[in-house]
Chain A
Amino acid sequence: MMNKKFSWKHEHWVKPYLAKYKWNFLLAIFLGIVMFFCGGALMFYAGYTIDKAATRPENILMIYVPIVLMRAVGIGRPLFRYLERLVSHNWILRVTSSLRRRLFYIAEKNTSAVGSAFQTGSILSLLTDDIGHLQNLYLRTIFPAILSYLVGFIVIILIGLFSWPLAGIIAILLIMELILVPFFSLLKQASVRSKEKKEKAQLYTEFTDQVLGAGDWKISGRKDAFFDQTKTTLKSLGKHEKKSGKFDWARDFVLEFIFGLMAVAILYFTNKNLTYNQEAANYVGAVVLALFPLSDAFIPVGQGIEEWHTYSDSVKHLNELTVPENHLPHQEYLDPVFAGTLKATDISFTYPGEDYPIIQNFSLTLKRGQKAALIGPSGAGKSTILQLILGDLKPNTGTVTLDKINVLSLQKERSKLFSVLNQEPFLFNTTIYENLKMANPDATADQMMEILEKVQLADFINSLPKKLNTEVAEAGARFSGGQKERLALARVLLQDTPIVLLDEPTVGLDPLTEQKLLNLVFDVLKKKTVVWVTHHLQGVKYMNEVLFFKDGKVTMQGNPYELFEHNEHFHQLYLMDQGLI
């Protein structure tokens, strides 16, 4: 999929937003054109004023009009620049809002309620970087390019009104300046830029090895090997950057040179065509000087267009984002109060593109209030089972039902039926109150405190200066891992669903804290049906059923008390877990 050829025709992350906010965009372009016009006009009138004045006219009124105009455009130039920048930034931020919403919807479709790709930091920062790159693409490449083309076009027309040959020459020079050189440099730099990108990615890996492996390097005593780690890549990256830099500087010189030729061309033609009488000759300086402020419009286009190489990956990346097709069956209603038996029947699941199923023939029946633990190594599919139970994934064979209704038919009602306590509970960057309110919009502050009392957080919250209205970020430093988990537990209790899924909520806690938390969790969830993913045996006494996983299959299953009595392997594991052997 990554190799799919990128095509502008099917591009759908840049083009649509140009169209969607076209009025804002056009306004910014218009202001930009007026700004350059004012810049040119200022020098035009200034040149004309002194040329005219140098002919010693009878009185000052003769230059009064150009002076007034000069002042007007003199104020116009900064004013329109100011407006242009405001409007273009406003435009880009509006585009950003839309991009974010769209990206959020896509992420939403790709995310499961338990651990998933979009949670990992790197993908996340990739997505935010992509948006940043897209902003720059609009602001630094597309906008200046279009603006310069229009300014160039207007310049040619204006000159054409007086001298067709000059207009022709300027047109040729502008085509070189704005199209030929920039696009030549775009193509020419493609290969070296892509090499640079690869080397940077390589360096990232190598630096990570140096930094994260710092302790290992040090005690290994292999100091030379440590420094050699990045030497080769740094060297070749340096070489390529030098090469691309040299090209860029040369290109900029060529662009300036072409601009210089335009000045010469104008000097020549004004000398030929505008010297037929003195009044006309007064305009020579005006026309020549008006050209120079326009270099700001023309010169940066080369660099702007070449910057496409910086943004292209982001555009491709965003265009490759896909939304999984998910056709849900007809949705049904199940009153949470009466929800009963949760049943997984012979489910198997293979991730698309994988050869081996991650889950094979898994079955589990839990009556209301019963509890099961899933135990196994990371990557054995424990979280996948939770996703299948929630209906975030569709099993290849078999079904998950709640009171004989397929969970896929209960997705609309899901947040009333299932809640999840995650490994690293996420607290939103707002107040504790708002965080709890998300779980149950009808909850009052009193109810919240009641629940917080249950999860043994009430004293802590009351000790905070603003109590429930304390910002989580402010309290964040004071929240320990166990407290965060208990706050998330409070959210689960407020959501008050008949079924609760626990995804390794105690990972990373020390055994004492873990034990306390488990006692608390299973005390407050006594009446709930619970599926608990865990990795060792602390707390299994609360379970009706324990299932051990390996390579997609259940290797051992049963009631913990019975297993302890009758299963030697479990017996051994349990004794070890408890520190008894």
Chain B
Amino acid sequence: MIDKRLFKLPKAKIMLPMLAGLMFLQAFAILGQGIFLARAIVGSWKRQSFANIAEDVLTFLIFYLLRQGINWFQKWYMNRYANQTTALLRQQLLNKTYNGGIALVSRIGTGNLVSTLLDGMDEISNYLSLIFPKLIALAIVPWVILIYIFTLNALSGWILLLVFPLLILFMIILGTAAQSKASKQYAGYIKLQNHFVDALRGLSTLKVLGLAKKYGNIVYKNSENYRKKTMGVLRVAILSTFTLDFFTTLSIAMIAMFLGIGLINGNLILYPSLVILILSPEYFLPIRDFGNDFHATLNGKNALGQIFDILVFPTTPQENQLSSFTWNKDSVFIANNVSFNYSHIDQDHFSINKNAKMSAVVKKEQASTDKTHTADELRNVNLNLTGFQKVGIIGPTGAGKTTLMRILAGFLTPHLKEDNFTINGQNLAQLNQKNWQNQITYIPQDPFMFATSIKENLTFYNPNASQKEIDTALKATDLNNFVASLKDGLNTRIGENGRGISGGQKQRIALARAFLAKDRKILFFDEPTAHLDIETEYELKEPMKKLMENHLVFFTTHRLHWLNDMDWCLVIENGEIVEQGTPSDLAKNGTLFKKLTQPLKEDLL
């Protein structure tokens, strides 16, 4: 029910005793409040004047306020603790994101990660600041009260003590019943729950099929079905609250009755009886609080579980084994039998948690769909590249092209062995190296635009670029007219919440970014023109060719005309480099190369 990792969080060792102390104090405040309230009432019952009971009333009020004051302090303290903890978790998660980079993000899903960083942290903060006080209160307050009641009247003590396990037992039985009822119809339930989202997403299709107008009623009907099913589950689920309430009120009624009988028989006097009666509801309060808040914090619990899982995701931090160098025309890069697979990463950890609150499921499911598809395996990659070679990489979708690029860029770690790579004679197990990555520019299909000005986007790799350098880069990528046409010029904000720009402009900005990173001599292009229309691609061809001069280039593409600009070509299929050679050699002798390119030729006008 409670994640053990929770207690391993930093500062838990200080916080828990602190809370325990507060709860003891609070328990005594509750006793004091009950005792003096009882005294005041007994005073009135004895028909004493107010002056006689004024002192008791005042003391009652003081204890009452002490109790609320402790609550106040406890909330402040726990909030501080929860915020410190989430800040720390967030920091660790960001560290993980920075180190894990694309490998982590593509496995977990960007939407998932962003919402964990933001809403997830709020939920965790809420969870932490509730779960500990409720737990500790449950562990202390009832028992202090119970011991005091035993000193007053053993029978009442026994009633309260015996009801407790009974209550827990019933809650477990009903909880299990509700759970099994819910999980029995889980699939159908989720389908109904998601039906509305499904209908909205499919609206265009519904319109095409001429069904959209009628579908509103289907949405309504399904929603009503969902309601009926939910109510079916709730009828059982809420029973556990009912049990809690029922045992509480019944015990109070029973105690009142026994006390009444005891009083009539003269075995008891009013004051202790009244104290017991007043304290009985307080005895049950912590368990009721715990039950109520338990459901409210489920999301936080799940988010925390997810973060613990992400934090154990294997990532390798950037290393510094490779000595500083600049790639030049004589540099040599060798890949020697490099292999990789994803299978060691347990992906189920990052999918939907079945126990998550139902409403959270929709979002998570959507978030999980934006995982990019990458091949799971890569075997025995051998390369021997020199100087400013231009390497084209082709192969069917899912063959492992992007995976290879990511290994070469140091984003993914291959099976470790000492001589996976040799750069200028130096052996390296992996390429997540400071002095390798500072040579790289990586341009994907859909380059990411940061939510800031065009200028900052351009100078991302080289924040100190001069205006002159920027102008040159703009000109080289044909961006100068576009930028000049903008009211705010280079200061125009793009990215999220900024001005929307077309895929072609994004690609140009990415190119200009690469132009400005003059010290980076290795270029990775991952299907850079796949999204673009033919004319834009045509316009980009010149600037791209210019950029590729004096660079080592890795270029994956489906667009075969780029191969004419490559001097080496890798053909990948099922995670293996099956053919490599110059494009013209492959055109003559490459079986798979021909298979990939031939059918397109049949399409000729």
B482-532 interface (Cβ within 8 A of A): 495-497, 500, 502-504, 530-532
Q: A206-B451, A253-B68 known; A215 and B605 CB under 8 Å?
A: no
Interface size (B, Cβ < 8 Å)?
Answer: 160
Identify 8 residue pairs between A and B in the complex whose beta-carbon atoms are under 8 Å apart, listed by A's number.
A42-B252, A74-B252, A113-B208, A208-B110, A218-B99, A274-B44, A285-B45, A538-B603
Residue of A nearest to B441 (CB): A219
| B165 part of interface (Cβ distance < 8 Å) | no
| A168 part of interface (Cβ distance < 8 Å) | no
Q: Are B57 and A267 in contact (CB under 8 A)?
A: yes
Selected interface stretch from B199-207, B332-340, B419-427: B199-207
| A221 part of interface (Cβ distance < 8 Å) | yes
Q: Are A377 and B533 in contact (CB under 8 A)?
A: yes
| A511 part of interface (Cβ distance < 8 Å) | yes
Please give, as numbers and ranges, the residues of chain A lying within 8 Å of B118 by CB-CB distance. 200, 203-204, 207
Selected interface stretch from B10-18, B23-31, B236-244: B236-244
Q: Are A78 and B204 in contact (CB under 8 A)?
A: no
Q: Out of B206, B362, B409, B531, name the residue touching A219 (CB < 8 Å).
A: B409
CB distance from A277 to the nearest CB of B (A): 8
Q: A63-B264, A116-B204 known; A54 and B241 CB under 8 Å?
A: no
Q: Out of A81, A94, A284, A561, name the residue touching B245 (CB < 8 Å).
A: A81
A270-322 interface (Cβ within 8 A of B): 270-272, 274-275, 278, 281-282, 284-285, 288-289, 292-293
CB distance from A26 to the nearest CB of B (A): 19
| A16 part of interface (Cβ distance < 8 Å) | no
| A346 part of interface (Cβ distance < 8 Å) | no
| B563 part of interface (Cβ distance < 8 Å) | yes
Chain A 507-530 against B: per-residue CB contact (8 Å), 1 yes, 0 no? Answer: 111111101100000000000000
Please give, as numbers and ranges, the residues of chain A lying within 8 Å of B535 by CB-CB distance. 375-377, 548, 550, 573
Q: Out of B102, B200, B238, B318, name the residue touching A107 (CB < 8 Å).
A: B200
Q: Out of B97, B102, B397, B538, name the residue touching A510 (CB < 8 Å).
A: B397
| A541 part of interface (Cβ distance < 8 Å) | yes
Alpha-carbon separation in the docked complex, A288 to B83 (Å): 40
Please give, as numbers and ranges, the residues of chain A lying within 8 Å of B442 by CB-CB distance. 215-216, 219
Please give, as numbers and ranges, the residues of chain A lying within 8 Å of B397 by CB-CB distance. 481, 509-510, 513
| B591 part of interface (Cβ distance < 8 Å) | no
Residue of A nearest to B271 (CB): A54
| B143 part of interface (Cβ distance < 8 Å) | no
| A328 part of interface (Cβ distance < 8 Å) | no
Q: Are B437 and A219 in contact (CB under 8 A)?
A: yes
Q: A85-B241, A204-B118 known; A215 and B558 CB under 8 Å?
A: no
Q: Are A70 and B256 in contact (CB under 8 A)?
A: yes
Alpha-carbon separation in the docked complex, A536 to B537 (Å): 9
Alpha-carbon separation in the docked complex, A114 to B269 (Å): 82
Interface size (A, Cβ < 8 Å)?
Answer: 166
Alpha-carbon separation in the docked complex, A550 to B535 (Å): 10
Residue of B nearest to A121 (CB): B366
Alpha-carbon separation in the docked complex, A416 to B87 (Å): 58
Q: Out of A50, A227, A278, name the residue touching B274 (CB < 8 Å).
A: A50
Selected interface stretch from A174-182, A185-193, A420-428, A452-460: A420-428
Q: A214-B104, A260-B61, A289-B277 known; A415 and B256 CB under 8 Å?
A: no
| A105 part of interface (Cβ distance < 8 Å) | yes
Q: Are A419 and B208 in contact (CB under 8 A)?
A: yes
| B604 part of interface (Cβ distance < 8 Å) | yes
Residue of B nearest to A45 (CB): B256
| A574 part of interface (Cβ distance < 8 Å) | yes
- Given A511-B560, A578-B603: 8 more A-B contacts, CB < 8 Å: A86-B231, A128-B362, A132-B359, A211-B113, A257-B65, A271-B48, A515-B602, A541-B603
| B219 part of interface (Cβ distance < 8 Å) | yes
CB distance from B592 to the nearest CB of A (A): 11
| B250 part of interface (Cβ distance < 8 Å) | yes
CB distance from A360 to the nearest CB of B (A): 18
Q: Out of B227, B497, B558, name the residue touching A96 (CB < 8 Å).
A: B227
Selected interface stretch from B71-79, B301-309, B374-382, B465-473: B71-79
A464-518 interface (Cβ within 8 A of B): 481, 491, 495, 507-513, 515-516
Q: Are B496 and A205 in contact (CB under 8 A)?
A: yes
Q: A111-B207, A275-B44, A578-B600 known; A218 and B216 CB under 8 Å?
A: no
Chain B 175-196 against A: per-residue CB contact (8 Å), 1 yes, 0 no? Answer: 0000000000000000100111
Alpha-carbon separation in the docked complex, A252 to B70 (Å): 12
Q: A60-B264, A274-B44 known; A124 and B208 CB under 8 Å?
A: no
The residue among B110, B260, B434 with the most chain A CB atoms within 10 A of its own CB is B260
Q: Are B102 and A70 in contact (CB under 8 A)?
A: no
| A330 part of interface (Cβ distance < 8 Å) | no
Alpha-carbon separation in the docked complex, A165 to B267 (Å): 39
Alpha-carbon separation in the docked complex, A160 to B57 (Å): 23
Q: Out of A60, A516, A574, name the residue touching B605 (CB < 8 Å).
A: A574
CB distance from A239 to the nearest CB of B (A): 11
| A79 part of interface (Cβ distance < 8 Å) | yes
Q: Out of A74, A90, A377, A576, name the residue touching B503 (CB < 8 Å).
A: A377
Please give, as numbers and ranges, the residues of chain A lying within 8 Å of B601 by CB-CB distance. 578
Alpha-carbon separation in the docked complex, A272 to B249 (Å): 30
Q: Are B47 and A275 in contact (CB under 8 A)?
A: yes
Please give, as numbers and ranges, the residues of chain A lying within 8 Å of B226 by CB-CB distance. 93, 97
| A30 part of interface (Cβ distance < 8 Å) | no
| B22 part of interface (Cβ distance < 8 Å) | no
Residue of B nearest to A42 (CB): B249
Secondary structure type dominating chain B contacts: helix
Q: Are A267 and B117 in contact (CB under 8 A)?
A: no
Q: Out of A86, A215, A426, name the residue touching B235 (CB < 8 Å).
A: A86
Alpha-carbon separation in the docked complex, A79 to B249 (Å): 11
Q: Are B76 and A257 in contact (CB under 8 A)?
A: no
Q: Out of A53, A132, A278, name the residue touching B264 (CB < 8 Å).
A: A53
Q: A86-B231, A97-B227, A548-B535 known; A112 and B207 CB under 8 Å?
A: yes
| A344 part of interface (Cβ distance < 8 Å) | no
Q: Are B438 and A49 in contact (CB under 8 A)?
A: no
The residue among B110, B194, B234, B264 with the most chain A CB atoms within 10 A of its own CB is B264
Please give, as numbers and ranges, the residues of chain A lying within 8 Å of B244 by CB-CB distance. 78
Q: Are B257 and A70 in contact (CB under 8 A)?
A: yes
| B55 part of interface (Cβ distance < 8 Å) | no
| A236 part of interface (Cβ distance < 8 Å) | no
Selected interface stretch from A3-11, A242-250, A333-341, A393-401: A242-250
Q: Are B603 and A539 in contact (CB under 8 A)?
A: yes
| A450 part of interface (Cβ distance < 8 Å) | no
Please give, as numbers and ranges, the residues of chain B lying within 8 Å of A282 by CB-CB distance. 45
CB distance from A54 to the nearest CB of B (A): 4
Please give, as numbers and ranges, the residues of chain A lying within 8 Å of B600 by CB-CB distance. 511-512, 515, 538, 578-579
| A213 part of interface (Cβ distance < 8 Å) | yes
Q: Are A100 and B220 in contact (CB under 8 A)?
A: yes
Residue of B nearest to A93 (CB): B227
| A154 part of interface (Cβ distance < 8 Å) | no
| B130 part of interface (Cβ distance < 8 Å) | no
Chain A 373-410 against B: per-residue CB contact (8 Å), 1 yes, 0 no? Answer: 00111110000000000001000000000000000000
| A67 part of interface (Cβ distance < 8 Å) | yes
Please give, as numbers and ranges, the residues of chain B lying within 8 Å of A45 by CB-CB distance. 256
The residue among B65, B83, B204, B605 with the most chain A CB atoms within 10 A of its own CB is B204
Q: Out of B49, B90, B270, name the residue touching A50 (CB < 8 Å).
A: B270
CB distance from A416 to the nearest CB of B (A): 8
| A119 part of interface (Cβ distance < 8 Å) | yes
| A169 part of interface (Cβ distance < 8 Å) | no
Please give, as numbers and ranges, the residues of chain B lying within 8 Å of A96 by CB-CB distance. 223, 227
The residue among A278, A392, A577, A580 with the most chain B CB atoms within 10 A of its own CB is A577
Q: Are B246 and A375 in contact (CB under 8 A)?
A: no
Alpha-carbon separation in the docked complex, A85 to B434 (Å): 60
Q: Are A576 and B561 in contact (CB under 8 A)?
A: yes
Alpha-carbon separation in the docked complex, A209 to B97 (Å): 11
